[in-house]
Each structure stands twice: as structure tokens, then as C-alpha cells.
Amino acid sequence: MSVDMRTYLAHVELANPITTAAGCAASGDELSQFVDLSRLGAFVTRSITMAPRAGRPTPRMAETPSGLLNAVGLQGPGVDVFLERELPRLVDRGARAVVSIGGGSVAEYTALARRLADAPGVTAVEVNLSCPNVEDLGRVFARDPAAAAEVVSSVRATMRYDVPVVAKLAPDAADIVAVARACVDGGADALAMINTPLGMSIDVDTMRPALAAGTGGLSGPAVRPLAVRCLWQVHAALPGVPIVGMGGVFSGRDALELILAGACVVSVGTALFHDPYACLRILRELEDLLKERGFERLADAVGLAQRPPGAGPRHRIDLEESSL
Amino acid sequence: MKETAGTAVQVTGTVLTTRRVDAYHALTVVAPGIAERFRPGHFVTVAVGGPHTSMPARRAFAVHDVKPDYGGTVELVFAVRGRGTAWLAERKARDTLDLVGPLGRPFPVPRDPAACVLVGGEYGSASLFALADVLQRRGCRVDFVLGAASADRVFGALRARRMGETTTLTTEDGSLGLRGRVTDALPSVIADARADVVYACGPMAMLRGVTAVAVEFDIPVQVSIEEAMACGYGVCMTCVVPVIGDDGVTRMVRSCVEGPVFRGERVRFEDIGTIPFDALGAPGGRAQEGGAHTRNVS
């Protein structure tokens, strides 16, 4: 018996829970040399901005223990080129496109949402809240519940009603549950976490910061415990809200850990740099692990670690309804 | 064979031989699938540290040689520069390696026989020999200029002497060949060989110097760039360099998929490590592709 791997991102059904993570799969052309994008649960684009962006200077990447620091700076072609070239190619390849958007002001997010509202083939919109708010001294939207909620509600109001809006949260907020709750109150249909926390590395040979930008986002297995903690806290506080989990998922076991903490979709990011086949390998490993543990449906594992001890999958009948 | 060229594959390779070559390590890996798709200038990436590695970034290496033996082997030449390359240097025969390749755009080769000068710095010269093979099979004249800081860091001198019409060696400490840099010797080699094209692979500062010489002689120069990358196939966006396009617009392009081989005069070497103010999408600069901003023609 195979495991039913279907999952829901708000009301949208995905064939399986494994997606790429924003900013880790470029336009899709690169990954499609290796894997059939239509076999992913969804393809999450890099964060699209209104204008083309050249990003940050190099060096943009530094390896740290079980992690990577990066400061790419949302390099991308801008929304016009994205809609004209990249999105249609994703749709042609049969990928379900979750479009990540990034901006420096509420107006910019709203304008992006307006551009996406008429575009065919947008499965969901992910709002990257880790961008600096130029109207608020460069403070990151995700650190402030009110600023995050303002962006989300503005995107929600602009986007077509049938396209879920996913708020992507940063782990280095003072109170991630407060930010999550504000986003949901603002109209977010789902939450994604975690974006990369800020880190820094100094090259002791050159005695200079390893990244040109100084600080960068930390990703990879090093941040997985942070992701699990954030998922756990937010799922406990908002059990009905679907969560896209990510943070150092390199194997099926890692994906299962996030699912047990409360994720119903799992994104693969840094692992794609290590293994271009990572998404499909992790999906296969996850399915095997669920089967070994007696699950018939992925949905039964979501948030299971939060339920009382002894409430295993075989006693499913006694359990409360799945959060899906 | 032809239809497979250029498409990358991931394979589990088996180490056939390992050896030290002066300051460098050479690793021959049985990697069917990669060897048959290889063109000179391609590179491969290797996962380092084993199955539970703490090093998530792959390491990129130019391919020195491919041979049809054992279903296809690739040879990598590298220097130990960190934990990843140190791990790789410890591999022994029969160990397995996770390889992805061949990656990148290979060296373009002239249609008709031409006089080609191949310039290598340090172990960058490793990737020139497969190119020299192809060029010679097309009837091209090949001259080598190889250099490094010291004699033990000049790679491939013997093979260059066997293959090249002439071979000029330079070391900064004078321990082998001429004292100085490849760019000191290059003008006379270009003049003597009546070179039509220069190919170069090595450190960024050397590529910049070689490009300047070739521009002076008004001949095309193809440079293979080595910029730090995490993935090698275009998704991590970390290996960008400012390159001037056919339309005159500078873009931050990925050296893994748009390169690693570029026309030297298109690369803005002096601006590497920055975002040039006139690059597409630079902060406060050119905002739109083909937008209202006009290029400064001076």
C-alpha cells in the first residue's frame, strides 16, 4: 500500500508536500535539466521584485559548519521578464508555481500582487517578509507584527480570492508567534517558515568578513533546530493554519521532523545546491519513512509530535481532526 | 554521443588513481556519463565530506583530462585550500565520489586552423590540455605559456613541451623558466606565433592581465573564470561576475552557467567584487532592460 502523499496549501491541493524553497531554484530551467518539475508538490520561485535587481557584490557565499551564509540580494530580472518568460515556462513544464514576492514598501508588494492577479498559472503567492522596509529605516517587515500584517492584508486584498497568500516569516523576530498571528489576522491563508536568520562569518586569513555584504542569511542543517522550534510554537498557537516548513531539509527524515512539528508542506533549499535531485529523493525517502511507521496518509503525521504521548498513527481514530 | 553533449548528469564515480603532482593532487575518477559528454572547458562539481557531511556546498573543479578507459574517466587537478579539498585529497582508489557534470560552457574552438596561445596560471593550466588536443586535431598551432609563483606550482610543463609548438614557463621567484609573470612573456609569444586567439585559465588577476595583452594585439581572448560557487548549475546565484552583453549592457551573470568561459574583453575585471553602477538592476542605476538610460559611448 502506498502512502497518500496529497496535502493542502490552504484550499489548494498539492500532489505531494515537497517543494523548492524561494531563491534556491532560480527560474526552474536549471533544475529541469535534472528533474521533471511537474513531479514536485510545487515550485517556489525566487522572490520577484518590481524592477530588475543586480543583487549584492561577491563574495556572496560562505560555508559554515553544516550551513551556508548567503547574501545574494534578490538578484532577478524583475516582474515583467518573470511574467513574460519565466512563469509561462514553468507552466509549460507542468510545474505548480508558487510565486514569491519581495519589496521595500507596502506599495511595492501591492503592485506586485496586482501584476500577478491576472497572470495565469499562479498557484499561490508567498510574501517574503524578510525584506527591509525602506519606509521604516530599513527594518525588516518580518520583525514587526504590524508591518508584516499590513503587507499581507494588502496583498490578500489585491490577489484573486482563489490564490492562497502565504506569509513567509523570519526566525529572528522577537516573538514569531505574534508575527504569525498578525499575518493570519491580516488575511494570510498559510505561513511559511523559516526564512534564513542573519549570520556572519569572518575569514581569519584575510581577517575580513567572508561576505562582501558583511552579514548574510544562514541556511542548511545548522538552522533545522531553529525551524523545528518556530514550527512547533506557531503550530501550537495556530493549529488550524497550514504551514510550509523549511530549514536545512537534506533527507526524508529531516522532512518528517518538520512535518511532525506541524508543517504540511516542506520546502527544500540549500540541499538543492548539494544535490540537484534532492526534492524527489527526499519525497521518496519521506514516503518510505511514513510507510514504515504505518501511516496511510501524510496528513495524519502533520503536527503529530504535538499530540499527547501514545497517540500513534494506529490509534488514529482517537485523535482530533487533522489540522488540514 | 552528440545528443548527450552539454547535458549534465549526477553520477557516483569510483576513484581509480590518486597521485601528487608537485604542489597539487590529481584524482582520476571512473565517471561514465560525464566523460562522454565532456568538452574542453567544462567543469564538474563534487560533494565533499561523505554522506553525513557538514559541508553543504559542492566543490567545483575544471577537468584536466577524460579518457574512454573503464567506460569513461575524468581527471581533476586541485590544490588543498580548505576542509573540502583536504577531504578530497585523502580519497583512495575504490572510494566513491558524487559528481555532477559536465557543467558550464566549454571553450569555443575555431572552425578553421588558427594559431592559438594557451596561457595557464598555477593548476589552471590543467584544463588547457584537453583543449590543446582538440585544437591540434583541427590543425591549429598551439603555443603554451605556463606560470606560477614557484617551480612546484607550475602544472603540466612536461606535457606542454610535448604538445606545444613552443612552451614558455615563468615563475615569480625565477625557480623555473623566466622570472616574472605569464603576462611578461605573453607579448613575444603572441608575436612569434602570429597568434590568432588566446585561451587562458588561472587566477582572476592573471586573466585580467592576459586580456589586456590580447586586447593590445587586437586578437580574441577566451578566459575561463573561477569564482566561488555553491551549486555549479545556476541556482545558488553566488558566482556572478559583471559581463558586458552583445547589447552593450553590463549584467551580473553566473560564471557557472553563462561561463566559466567568457570573451576576456567582455568581463569587467576591475569591477569584480562590486556591482558596477551601470549594471542592469544596480541599486539606483539602470532599472529596465533597454530602458530610458542610454549607454555612455565615449
Neighbours of A301 (CB within 10 A): 22
Residue A240 has pLDDT above 70, yes or no: yes
Range A228-243 average pLDDT: 96
Q: How confident is residue B7, by pLDDT bands cut at 50, 70 and 90?
A: confident
CB contact under 8 A, A51 and B230: no
Nearest residue, CB atoms, B238 vs list A30, A60, A66: A60
pLDDT at residue A324 in the model: 54
- Give the pairing type, strands B197-201 and B221-224: parallel
* pLDDT at residue B297 greater than cutoff 70: no
- End-to-end alpha carbon distance in chain A: 22
What's the average model confidence in pLDDT over B135-149? Answer: 95
Is residue B6 over pLDDT 90? no
Average pLDDT of every residue of chain B: 90
Q: Helices H, strands E: what count in chain B?
A: 5, 15
Confidence of residue B243 (pLDDT cuts 50, 70, 90): very high
Residue type, A299: A
Q: Name, in order, each residue with C-beta under 8 angstroms of B3's C-beta and a sequence gap of 6 or more.
A: none
Residue A158: Cβ within 10 Å count = 18
Q: Report which residue type is found at A4.
A: D
A275: phi then psi, degrees, rounded to nearest 5: -145, 105
Q: Is the pLDDT of residue B60 over 70?
A: yes
Q: Is A138 on the interface with B (CB under 8 A)?
A: no
- How do residues B84-115 score in pLDDT, each as one tens digit? 999 999 999 999 999 999 999 999 999 999 99
Instruction: Tell me if A272 and B281 make a contact (CB, 8 A cut-off).
Output: no
Q: Note the pLDDT of residue A111.
A: 95
How confident is the model over A195-218, as a mean pLDDT?
94
pLDDT in tens, B172-220: 999 999 999 999 999 999 999 999 999 999 999 999 999 999 999 999 9
* Omega prior to A59 cis, within 30 of 0: yes
pLDDT at B290 over 70: no
**Residue keyed to cell 539602470:** B286
In chain B the first and final C-alpha atoms are separated, in Å, by 47
Region B222-246: mean pLDDT is: 93
* Chain A residues touching B235 at Cβ < 8 A: 24-26, 30-31, 272-273, 276
Residue A17 has pLDDT above 70, yes or no: yes
Confidence of residue A153 (pLDDT cuts 50, 70, 90): very high
Percentage of chain B exceeding pLDDT 90: 85
Residue in B56, B241, B272 closest to A274 by CB: B56
Spatial neighbors of A89 by CB under 8 A, at least 6 apart, are: A27, A28, A29
Give the closest-approach CA distance of A319 to chain B in angstroms: 36
Cβ distance of B275 and A56 shorter than 8 Å: yes
- From chain A, the residues in CB contact with B58 under 8 A are 273-274
- Nearest chain B residue (CA) to A220: B56
Show residues of chain B in contact with A212, CB under 8 Å: 273
Q: What is the mean pLDDT of residues B129-139?
A: 95
Confidence of residue B294 (pLDDT cuts 50, 70, 90): very low
Cross-strand bridge partners of residue B98:
B12
Q: Is the peptide bond before B260 cis (omega within 30 degrees of 0)?
A: yes
pTM of the entire predicted model = 0.90
The pLDDT of residue A207 is 96
Q: Are strands A122-128 and A97-101 parallel, antiparallel or unpaired?
A: parallel
Interface size A-B, in CB pairs within 8 Å, comes to 127
Phi and psi, residue B78, nearest 5°: -150, 160
Using the beta-carbon criterion (under 8 Å), do B54 and A66 form an inter-chain contact?
A: yes
**How far is it, in rounded angstroms, from Cα B263 to Cα B252?**
15
Per DSSP, the three-state class of B253 is strand
Contact B114, B190 (CB under 8 A): no
Tell me whether residues A72 and B237 touch, CB distance under 8 A. yes
Question: How many Cβ atoms from other residues are within 10 Å of residue A307's Cβ?
Answer: 13
Widest CA span of chain B, in angstroms? 59
Q: What is the pLDDT of residues A53-100, one digit of tens each?
A: 999 999 999 999 999 999 999 999 999 999 999 999 999 999 999 999
- The answer to whether residues A133 and A148 touch, using CB atoms and an 8 Å cutoff, is no
